[in-house]
Structure formats: structure tokens, C-alpha cells
Amino acid sequence: VLQKMGELNAARQQFESEVAIRQGLLLRNPKQMLWREELATSHSFLAGVLEDLGEQEAALEHRRADVRTYTELCSFDASNAQWRRNQAIGRHRLGKLLSETGSLGDGLAELNNAEQLLEPIVAVETTRRTWRDDLASIKATDAELLAQSGNRRAARAKVEEAVRLLGTPKERGAKQRLAFALLVKGSIDAADGRKAAARESWQQARDVLQPASQWREPRQIAVMARVLMALGDRAEAAALVGRLRAIGYGNREFMSLSRTEGY
């Protein structure tokens, strides 16, 4: 709740305490697989707030701990679809973070692993809409990294598949994912010189995010700000960037982009 309210340092303290408590519990009984799973989740939450604060290197330790733990859990019980899905999500987030810290090749490898893990699960668990949305998010992030590597053809195929998988979502989280995918698609179009198509994708992303009042969490606001930057709506984008800076939001990728764009 503190993180969603923008009280990032207070959230960090709570997550650090949680990790320490769960580590202590697991030392008492290392065979408790449920406790091990909960510790992995705690590492993921702490990594997320560290990323929000711009401490990407510190976050890496916890992203790796999350992935390592779920890899161990899946070795213990390979039939557990939830654990395999969580491992894929962990690799997705680790891959994104690796790219932000200068390891684009390693990031792409983790995204590829995440897709390979989750695709067969989604093919079987057809009623789990959120898992399909997870796969779409992985593909959208993969597209962003592929575009950064110069492989825009492969990036376009990935992001178009992500948009297709997300469809027309009603739930907020899925809307945010779709807006991000459309943002990436527009960036690929722009890099290919397709200015009209790029603007259409960015406008669609903006429409998905309306009304703006529904978004409160820092990461959600950051996606909205990136869309507005892409559209050239400087006044609204500047207001959101200022709002994020006021709460100490320091995601390195976002802040670098905002400075490059003159915000």
C-alpha cells in the first residue's frame, strides 16, 4: 500500500523487514516449501521498490534470489504450474532489469527463457486470463529489447502478438500492459519511419489509459508519462514527471528518457 501511495522509502523498509523475517523462518525449517515460495515473493516486492528508487544494482540481488528460489521449487515439483508461471515472471523481470543495467544480451536471454517457460503453460491453462496477460507482457518487453538490439523485424512480430493476446481488456492491470505494448509498437513504427502508424499506436495507448484519474501507482503514472512524451504533449507529460520526482521515483530507464526528452 505504501508503494502504491508513492511512499517508496517507507515501503522499502517494510519489504526489507519482511525479507529478513522470512529468511529467519526458513533457517529454522529449510524444508518448508511454502515458506520458501513466500520468501521468493518478498524478494520480488523488495526488488520492485528498489527499481522504483533507481537502485537497479541492489535490485538485481533480489531478482536473482527470486528466480533462483523458483528454479529450486520447480526442481522439487515440476508439475506445479503456479511455480513454473512464477519462475517465468521472475525471469521476465530479471531480464528487463539486466537490460537496464547494461546487459542487453543477458536480458534478452532471460526473456527468451521466460517465454519458453510460460507458453506451454498458457496453452494448457486456457481459462487463466491473467496468465495469458503475463505472456503478453513478456512478449512486449522482449519486443522492446529486440528493438534496442536493432532487430526491429522480430520486435514487431513480438509486440503485435502481445497486442493480440491482450485484446480489449477491462481490468486496470491489463490496460496498463496493453498501453505499454502499444507504446513499444509505436516506437518500432517510428524507428521504421512509419510516423502515422506510430502516432496511431500512441494515441490508442492514451485512449486505453483514459481516464487519467484511475492511475495512482508510480509505475502506472510512468507509463502514462511515456505515452504523453511520445505524443509530444509536453505540458501533461511534464506534470506527471514532476509528480514522480516529487515522491522520489527514480527508475533509471524512465529518468534517463525524461532527461533525454528535456523534462
**Cα(49)–Cα(13) distance, integer angstroms:** 10
State the average pLDDT over residues 218-238.
96
pLDDT for the residue 150: 97
Give the pLDDT band (50/70/90) at residue 135: very high
Q: Which 8-state DSSP code applies to residue 126?
A: T
Confidence of residue 215 (pLDDT cuts 50, 70, 90): confident
Q: Mean pLDDT, to the nearest integer, of 178-187?
A: 98
What does each C-alpha distance from 251 to 17, 99, 216 come to in angstroms?
Answer: 22, 13, 16
Section 158-186 average pLDDT? 96
Residue pair 143/158 in contact (Cβ under 8 Å)? The answer is yes
Q: Which pLDDT value is given to residue 245?
A: 95
Q: What is the number of H-type helices and E-type strands within the chain?
A: 12, 0
Look at residue 184 and tell me whether its pLDDT is greater than 90.
yes
The C-alpha cell at 73 is 521449487
pLDDT of residue 214: 82
- Mean pLDDT in residue range 55-67: 97
Q: Cα(202)–Cα(141) distance, rounded to whole angstroms? A: 16
Q: What would the mean pLDDT of 51-71 be, rounded to a whole number?
A: 97
pLDDT beyond 90 at 212:
no
- Tell me how far apart the alpha carbons of residues 262 and 229 are, in angstroms, rounded to a whole number: 10
Could you give the count of Cα atoms lying within 13 Å of 54 in the half-sphere of its Cβ? 11
pLDDT > 90? residue 213: no
Q: Give dist(CA 120, CA 48) in Å, integer.
A: 27
pLDDT exceeds cutoff 90 at 178: yes
Residue 30 is predicted with a pLDDT of 92
3-state secondary structure 110-125: HHHHHHHHHHHHHHHC
Mean pLDDT for 125-150 is 97
Average pLDDT (74-87) is 96
> Percent of the chain beyond pLDDT 90?
96
CA distance 14 to 156: 40
CA distances (Å), 121 to each of 80, 87, 88, 91, 96, in order?
10, 12, 10, 15, 21
CA–CA separation, 184 and 73 (whole Å): 33
- DSSP letters for 31-54: T-HHHHHHHHHHHHHHHHHHHHTT
Answer yes or no: are the C-beta atoms of 176 and 160 closer than 8 Å.
no
Instruction: State the chain's mean pLDDT as an integer.
Output: 96
Q: Which amino acid is at 119?
A: E
Grade residue 129 by pLDDT with cuts at 50, 70 and 90. very high
